[in-house]
Amino acid sequence: MNAVLVAVALSLVSAVAYAAAAVAQERLASRSPGAGTLRLLGSGAWWWSVGLNASAALLHVVALRYGPLTVVQPLGALTLVAAVPMGARMAGRRVSTVEWKGTALTLLGLGAILVTASGPAPDDALSVPEALAVAGATAAFIGVLSRPGARPGLRHATASGLASGVASALTQTVTVAATDRTGPVLSVQVVGVALLVAAFAAGGLLLSQTAYRGGLGGPLAMVTLANPLAAAVIGLSLLGERLQGGPAGVLLALAGAGLASWGVVLLSRAAPAAAGPVDDGHPVAAVLALEPGSATAEPALVPRPHDPGHLTPATR
């Protein structure tokens, strides 16, 4: 099978896993908007989302070994496409017409980008100085976007997308360097860059959790756009990757990017209806419905409607 097709297939499965993780994170953020990191670490639902993210990241790593960064990263936009029906299902509502339109435009745009980005498998990697320079510049920019006092939302989502995009670019460097038989597997380059990957991946996860306090659509759309943008800049400027088709290919890629951006904007602006009851019979829904904390914790008391002649005990 063609290496690029393998990369595309792995990226599709990875996008679905990332979408499920995003829905889980958004539900946690909406239920406990002020929850700190320590409280999240004690939540089973949080670790469920972390596991989904880890599985998606592993598939993403393998995809980067078979396909170029300019192919694998645009497919990350399918995370938003998959998250829309998942989020609607968990909220007990139907996907709106605007959401379906945004989904179609996003897919058309991605198709145009893939036509021009289907280059050979990656064979280049960032040097240690290049990796450190990229990491330092990105960390400084993320610090500005997520500075104390900044309102959680699009700024934190942009920072999360940048962190994830840089982590993907650095991951490709690790996979190429580790599988290159001309040097040791655990070289200074592999170990050092792997540590940077872990730091940016963890930072992107925590930043997205903060961003989802304002809802799923807008922040996830921003993450989806910032992620491939950061990775594409690195791939085209430092890894020697090129778009196919010359000037016509560049125009097609720009048109595809415009369509995908329009679709993402429509998806982010679609106002979901009020959440309905969760289907407890669905295994994923049951996990996503858990409040942060233990599943066996004492259920919270729900205030009863006022009933004359009935005294409702005060809650503690």
DSSP letter string over 73-113?
A: TGGGGHHHHHHHHHHHHHHT-PPPHHHHHHHHHHHHHHHHH
pLDDT for position 139: 93
pLDDT for position 256: 85
CB 102 within 8 A of CB 265: yes
Task: Tell me which amino acid residue 221 is.
Answer: A
Q: What Rg, from alpha-carbon coordinates, does the chain have?
A: 21
Q: Spell out the per-residue pLDDT of the chain, length 316, in tens.
A: 678 888 888 989 998 998 888 888 887 776 665 555 566 666 677 778 888 888 988 888 788 778 776 677 777 778 877 887 887 777 777 878 888 888 788 878 877 877 776 655 555 677 778 888 999 999 999 998 887 765 667 788 889 989 988 987 888 778 777 776 666 667 777 788 889 988 998 888 888 888 887 677 778 878 877 877 787 788 778 877 777 777 888 888 888 888 888 887 787 676 554 444 434 333 344 334 443 343 444 444 444 444 444 444 444 4
pTM: 0.66
pLDDT for position 286: 37
The Cα-based distances of 251 to 120, 221, 305 in angstroms read 20, 23, 61
CB 239 within 8 A of CB 69: yes
- Cα–Cα–Cα angle for 285, 21, 44, rounded to 5 degrees: 65
Residue 81 and residue 85: Cα distance in Å, rounded?
A: 8
pLDDT for position 151: 66
CB 230 within 8 A of CB 138: yes
CB 68 within 8 A of CB 120: yes
Residue 114 and residue 116: Cα distance in Å, rounded?
A: 5
Q: Locate tokens 């655990």: which residue?
A: 186
pLDDT for position 205: 86
Q: Give Cα 209 distance to the centre of its chain.
A: 10
Residue 61 and residue 188: Cα distance in Å, rounded?
A: 19
* Both tokens assigned to 156: 């934190």
pLDDT for position 162: 92
Within 8 A by CB and 6+ apart from 117, the residues are 68, 70, 71, 74, 243, 244, 253
pLDDT for position 1: 61
